[in-house]
């Protein structure tokens, strides 16, 4: 068995901070001089093969978004798998941003395949508890994790996630379910369960209440940077020791350069260091 997933997270944050680098490959944003005559998927893989070791020097986690790979068909999925493999080989913790959630044998099949390539996965719970059960079962041994979508960062999230239900909103009802699942999957020595939650940085007024509703869950916070979320607003998600949350940024780090710039390695490294520094200033000791 591998080391406990939550212990790995805690140690990673203590050593390198809570930054998560999103991997969302866009062909138009790749360095123009990198394998310009190659097929798109080959250029994507060449990009990550060069930059993942740079990321691993400073950060502990990456979050590849499978949609940006799957858009290229079977070859794109193969590059997703290889990107995950290279990231893990570099010592990075991989959160597969796959947002799967289905019922019965379908959910079982998703869980079986995607946990082959990532240490943790994003899942959505809106088909009910049986849609996440196969993922939760695979977290029971402690070496894998899930992040259940609770309150997302997109503008239209309010249309459904903020609908009133008995006891609060729909997203708060999901948060209570996550808290129950986190209790069922025993927390590790750091007090956190491998059952975490996705809570968008753009819903800053919600972060404190979700922290209270899910005290044993790691909170994965997307939406910083291009989507309008600010690093300092994420402080509410951390506990008093600086643990309990992971903050993700994609475009602000990985697309911080113009395609024709030659020093794109240096630009990405500088942007990542700046992101990590912001987190250490604003989020080390919580709000």
pTM of the model: 0.95
**Can you give the pLDDT at residue 202?**
63
Instruction: Give the CATH number of domain 5-282.
Output: 3.20.20.70
**Can you give the pLDDT at residue 287?**
38
> Which is the catalytic residue, given 63, 99, 133, 267?
99
**CB-neighbour burial class of residue 112 (10 A; exposed 0-12, middle 13-18, buried 19+):** exposed
**Can you give the pLDDT at residue 286?**
40
Catalytic annotation present for 267:
no
What are the average pLDDT values for consecutive 10-residue runs of the chain, which has 287 residues?
82 94 96 96 98 98 98 98 98 98 94 98 95 95 94 90 95 97 82 94 75 95 72 86 92 95 97 93 60
**Can you give the pLDDT at residue 200?**
87
**Can you give the pLDDT at residue 224?**
73
């Amino acid at each position: 068995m591998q080391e406990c997933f939550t212990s790995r997270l805690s140690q990673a944050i203590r050593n390198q901070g809570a930054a998560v680098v999103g991997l969302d490959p866009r062909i138009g944003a790749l360095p123009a001089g990198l394998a310009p005559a190659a097929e798109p998927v080959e250029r994507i893989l060449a990009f990550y093969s060069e930059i993942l070791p740079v990321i691993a020097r400073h950060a502990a986690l990456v979050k590849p978004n499978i949609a940006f790979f799957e858009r290229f068909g079977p070859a794109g999925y193969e590059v997703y798998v290889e990107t995950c493999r290279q990231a893990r080989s570099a010592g990075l913790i991989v959160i597969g941003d796959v947002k799967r959630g289905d019922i019965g044998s379908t959910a079982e099949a998703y869980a079986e395949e995607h946990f082959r390539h990532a240490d943790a996965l994003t899942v959505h719970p809106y088909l009910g508890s049986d849609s996440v059960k196969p993922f939760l079962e695979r977290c029971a041994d402690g070496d894998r994790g899930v992040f259940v979508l609770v309150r997302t960062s997109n503008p239209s999230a309010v249309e459904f996630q903020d609908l009133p239900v008995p006891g609060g909103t729909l997203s708060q009802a999901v948060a209570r379910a996550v808290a129950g699942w986190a209790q069922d999957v025993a927390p590790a020595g750091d007090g956190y369960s491998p059952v975490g939650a996705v809570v968008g940085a753009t819903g800053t007024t919600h972060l404190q209440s979700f922290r209270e509703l899910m005290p044993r869950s790691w909170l994965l916070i997307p939406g910083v940077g291009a989507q309008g979320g600010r690093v300092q607003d994420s402080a509410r998600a951390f506990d008093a020791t600086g643990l309990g949350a992971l903050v993700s940024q994609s475009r602000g780090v990985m697309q911080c350069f113009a395609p024709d710039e030659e020093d794109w390695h240096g630009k990405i490294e500088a942007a990542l260091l700046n992101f990590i520094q912001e987190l250490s200033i604003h989020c080390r000791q919580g709000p």
